[in-house]
């Protein structure tokens, strides 16, 4: 395996672990319960944790500049916030609960879009 391939795989692991920490260990009911209210501090705090916890990936794949690092962190914040907010809007609009298949479909798509964000971050860092 090449050094670059190893770094890419390690970077993805770092981002997957960060996602698990921010979404499942650090997320409080205050954050979760308010992500559907646009601009609410709960959702902003949650997206902020995701953005800040992205920083360790730069130890594996250093960005070419501070501007690029700032753009990645800002992009992660904005994308994560809006993905979560959009999912919550759909859950509320269709009055979905955990008993509904569509709830889990949306949950899965939300997770997929977050993972694709990490693929994009890695692609930006290696290009």
CB 46 within 8 A of CB 22: yes
End-to-end CA distance of the chain: 19
For residue 18, the tally of other CB atoms under 10 A from its CB is: 20
Per-residue model confidence (pLDDT) at position 75: 98
Span 18-50, pLDDT tens digits:
999 999 999 999 999 999 999 999 999 999 999
- Residue 90 CA, distance from chain mean position: 18
Q: Could you tell me the pTM of the whole model?
A: 0.94
Q: Give per-residue burial for 100-110: e unless 16+ CB within 10 Å, then b.
A: eeebeebeeeb
Per-residue model confidence (pLDDT) at position 94: 97
The first and second tokens of residue 29, run together, are: 């009911």
Span 72-118, pLDDT tens digits:
999 999 999 999 999 999 999 999 999 999 999 999 999 999 999 99
Per-residue model confidence (pLDDT) at position 17: 98
């Amino acid at each position: 395996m090449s050094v670059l391939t190893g770094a890419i795989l390690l970077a993805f692991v770092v981002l997957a672990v960060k996602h698990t920490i921010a979404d499942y260990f650090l997320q409080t009911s205050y954050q979760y319960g308010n992500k559907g209210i646009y601009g609410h501090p709960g959702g902003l705090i949650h997206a902020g944790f995701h953005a800040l916890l992205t920083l360790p990936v730069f130890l594996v794949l250093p960005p070419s500049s501070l501007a690029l690092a700032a753009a990645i962190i800002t992009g992660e914040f904005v994308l994560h916030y809006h993905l979560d907010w959009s999912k919550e809007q759909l859950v509320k609009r269709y009055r979905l609960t955990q008993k509904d298949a569509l709830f889990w479909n949306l949950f899965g798509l939300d997770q997929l879009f977050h993972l694709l964000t990490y693929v994009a971050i890695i692609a930006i860092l290696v290009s």
